[in-house]
Structure 1
């Protein structure tokens, strides 16, 4: 096994109209203490100078270290899946265009992942800032265990901090096509579900790894305030959340050989529960042991099940 400092990492950055912030993010990548990195930027049709900024950054580095490719033009999640399909067979790191990485962001992830021979998925906390990088708060610490029973109903392994060792990245690549075809709602939620389902080691670093910039065009907002948590609980009670669960289930069911046998059984029970009416659905899900990271979130999840908000009428067509 190579020394952690020698492990190659491919950074996958999805861009779209990011000219205001992407230059600072690129410079934070250049300043990483882990030097063995390459970068692929998939741009979704920016018309604001983003591509020129990336091209200039590429020209300032050795040939081949930075690549700019065309995205699919279908939004951030599909752009990340596209990037994943273009990545070489090595450790990979997801990257957002408007954050600022701390200098040791990659080195800490590589060191943590290098301790595992099997598949492993690393994520970390962040420092939430305003648009001008003034710190506001640290992102939430998740007290409950990481695992498939949590991943089925909650996304907590933040994509902008996620790094996957080569074995975990290979599993994700084998699962891309159904995720693309089913139009999954979130690439980082999907990645957490796949790695957890496959039995990968799951590492959540309590130390922040980057500045998570919040601005008017942020793809996802912060989730640590009372207002934000209330909004997320409201989503649990809305119809869209049940649709997301069904979409994720379809994408996972299409790649079930990648999951541990015990998790395939959980997935089947979960799929059956999604088609049950209330309160049978809530009872079935409680027997599975599904949970979110807070009591309020878990209670809201089961309230949604009791109200029939998670039910999918009829079997969903699987796209394989």
Structure 2
């Protein structure tokens, strides 16, 4: 009998923080879950730790990795493919879940289901997080509105969905299919596009997770315009402008992962997309790979948003000065 919630975790040399993370999941106030962990060929003590927890707890399962290193994106996609549940959550190996993370997210999911009471509607819920250092001391918390945009153009350019805060339903899982992972940015970004085009993306502004930042992060937190580090706020903002401008100029090209993903998504779901969604994706793709005129058309027609208004204007500047 499957649990209501399947939590999937991909590990790789995560022994330093792994026990603390698994313990935070065991400490959840919602108990009807199973944790499925796939180790991506670690060379440290991660395997020993996982075996210890699997032996102690009936709802913790180590998934066979067939001695293959897949990388985080492919590993998470493989886990979702081989697990069955009503809802799915995604855990990094080095964060810390607050005790009500599952119950709050599941409550938001069920609220969204009432809006669209059809089991075939894909739904994605994601939440806010608190950024902490390696010892879980608070560094900063993004504003509640930091990630609250759901239009396709904004989400296609700026992924506001953080995988470790995310829950998807079974209907969304069933739409994933066997994708070409080289054409997908990250699993959370891809799932967000599916939910946007065919169902519901719901954002919960509450903090549900301590998002640990350290030297081993695969993907770090994006906190907007002000760059971290030393110096005055003005200097940090100037560094942030340069950093974001470099990023957008790298991504606004035909061979960038942002452009590849838009093109591939349009092709992969062509038979399901509405004409309006197809047109929007076409404008997006042409705006990214074309010159300044195509970038200006994208801005005028779609007005894509970013995590804050300052970053949005940097993005617009990059689009019209290619």
Q: TM-score range by the shorter chain?
A: 0.7 to 0.9
1:232 Cα deviation from its structure 2 partner: 5.0
- Of 100, 103, 128, which aligns to 1:125? 128
User: Is residue 247 of structure 1 aligned with residue 260 of structure 2?
Assistant: yes
1:186 Cα deviation from its structure 2 partner: 2.1
Residue 233 of structure 2 corresponds to which residue in structure 1? none
- Of 273, 283, 292, which aligns to 1:278? 292
Shift in alpha-carbon separation, 1:295–1:186, aligned structure 2, 3 A: same
Shift in alpha-carbon separation, 1:42–1:251, aligned structure 2, 3 A: farther
1:269-305 deviation line (CA, Å, top 9, x unaligned) = 2223334222333223431332223222221222111
4+ runs deviating over 4 angstroms: none
Q: SS where residue 64 of structure 2 aligns? A: strand
TM-score calculated relative to the size of structure 1: 0.85
Contact 1:131–1:215, Cα closer than 8 Å, also in 2: yes
> Which structure 2 segments of 5+ residues have no match?
229-239
Residue 316 of structure 1 corresponds to which residue in structure 2? none
1:126 Cα deviation from its structure 2 partner: 1.0
Contact 1:194–1:259, Cα closer than 8 Å, also in 2: no
- Of 146, 156, 160, which aligns to 1:152? 156
Matches within 5 A, 1:94-173: 94-115=90-111, 116=113, 117=117, 118-142=121-145, 145-171=149-175, 173=176
CA distance, structure 2, for counterparts of residue 197 and residue 235 of structure 1: 29
Contact 2:125–2:203, Cα closer than 8 Å, also in 1: yes
1:162 Cα deviation from its structure 2 partner: 0.4
Residue 51 of structure 2 corresponds to which residue in structure 1? 55
Matches within 5 A, 1:272-311: 272-308=286-322
CA distance, structure 1, for counterparts of residue 47 and residue 82 of structure 2: 18
Single out whichever of 134-143 and 188-197 deviates more from structure 2.
Answer: 134-143
Residue 197 of structure 1 corresponds to which residue in structure 2? 197
- Of 173, 176, 179, which aligns to 1:177? 179
Contact 1:89–1:170, Cα closer than 8 Å, also in 2: no
1:45-85 deviation line (CA, Å, top 9, x unaligned) = 101011111111111112x6423331852422222222222
Q: SS where residue 217 of structure 1 aligns? A: coil
Residue 219 of structure 1 corresponds to which residue in structure 2? 218
Contact 1:270–1:285, Cα closer than 8 Å, also in 2: no
1:8 Cα deviation from its structure 2 partner: 0.6
Root mean square deviation of aligned Cα: 2.3
Q: SS where residue 212 of structure 1 aligns? A: strand
TM-score calculated relative to the size of structure 2: 0.84
Q: SS where residue 279 of structure 1 aligns? A: helix
1:163-207 deviation line (CA, Å, top 9, x unaligned) = 012222222x33x413x142x232222221221122x22221111
